[in-house]
A and B are shown apart, each in its own frame.
Chain A
Amino acid sequence: RKEVEQDPGPFNVPEGATVAFNCTYSNSASQSFFWYRQDCRKEPKLLMSVYSSGNEDGRFTAQLNRASQYISLLIRDSKLSDSATYLCVVNDSGGKLIFGQGTELSVKP
């Protein structure tokens, strides 16, 4: 079993759609959780951290369920510029980042 697993992609959605990504992790001792965005042939960039209480940043909402070891990202009113690969990332108890395989999102006009 992979340490961090994400929904297989790609997700193809029209502009304005709401899209949800799911992720599970295997190490219950993991300390912190993130969503990164990676554009084609570029480095990953931090989109947002994920907290147990849930957190929102504009059109983006992240949720963490420690009991289920489950992380989600919701994107509302999707824009063309949201097209990218979204990486679920877990900081394990040793301070290392473990990446999911990524979910590709393509927003169409």
Chain B
Amino acid sequence: GAVVSQHPSWVICKSGTSVKIECRSLDFQATTMFWYRQFPKQSLMLMATSNEGSKATYEQGVEKDKFLINHASLTLSTLTVTSAHPEDSSFYICSVPPDPVGGQYFGPGTRLTVL
């Protein structure tokens, strides 16, 4: 069964609106979750590390004021794309690491289209 869920699976919104994406760890508690973005024909790029109880850590070039991350509990992290623009259209995927050096379980992804 699924280890990580994401909601919504797809969303279409108008330019300038904000979109919230939820990532839930179903099988275990996660103090850390990761948010990735994947553009067509490209690989996954890490956007930020979501930390339960503290601020997220953003990768270079990712605007923290545009991509708001909240790790509300040990099973839930949310990514809010604020004032979305067409160039933000992408596949957003979260992941949960069962341990620091192992592989990660990925959510099914959220496909965002900004008109």
Chain A interface residues (CB < 8 Å from chain B) = 31-32, 34, 36, 41-46, 49, 87, 89, 91, 95-102
Contacts and interface: CB of A to CB of B under 8 A. Distances in A.
Given A31-B101, A97-B34, A41 B106 contact: no
B101 A44 contact: no
Contact of B106 (A32, A45, A100, A101): A45
B99 to A, nearest CB: 9
Contacts of A44: 44, 93, 106
B34 A91 contact: no
Q: Which has the most chain A C-beta neighbours within 10 Å: B44, B102, B108?
A: B44
A101 B42 contact: yes
A89 B103 contact: yes
Q: What 10 pairs between A and B have smallest CB-CB spacing? A: A43-B106, A99-B43, A46-B103, A95-B100, A101-B43, A99-B44, A43-B109, A32-B101, A31-B101, A34-B103
A90 B107 CA distance: 19
For chain B, give the interface size range.
20 to 34
For the complex, would chain A's binding face be called helix, strand, loop or mixed by DSSP majority? strand
Contacts of B49: 96
Interface of B: 32, 34, 42-46, 49, 91, 93, 95, 97, 100-109, 111
30 contacts: A31-B101, A32-B101, A32-B102, A32-B103, A41-B91, A42-B108, A42-B109, A43-B106, A43-B107, A43-B108, A43-B109, A44-B44, A44-B93, A46-B103, A46-B104, A46-B105, A49-B102, A49-B103, A91-B101, A91-B102, A95-B100, A95-B101, A96-B46, A97-B34, A97-B44, A97-B95, A99-B43, A99-B44, A99-B45, A102-B43
Contacts of A36: 103
Nearest to B108: A43
Contacts of A96: 34, 46, 49
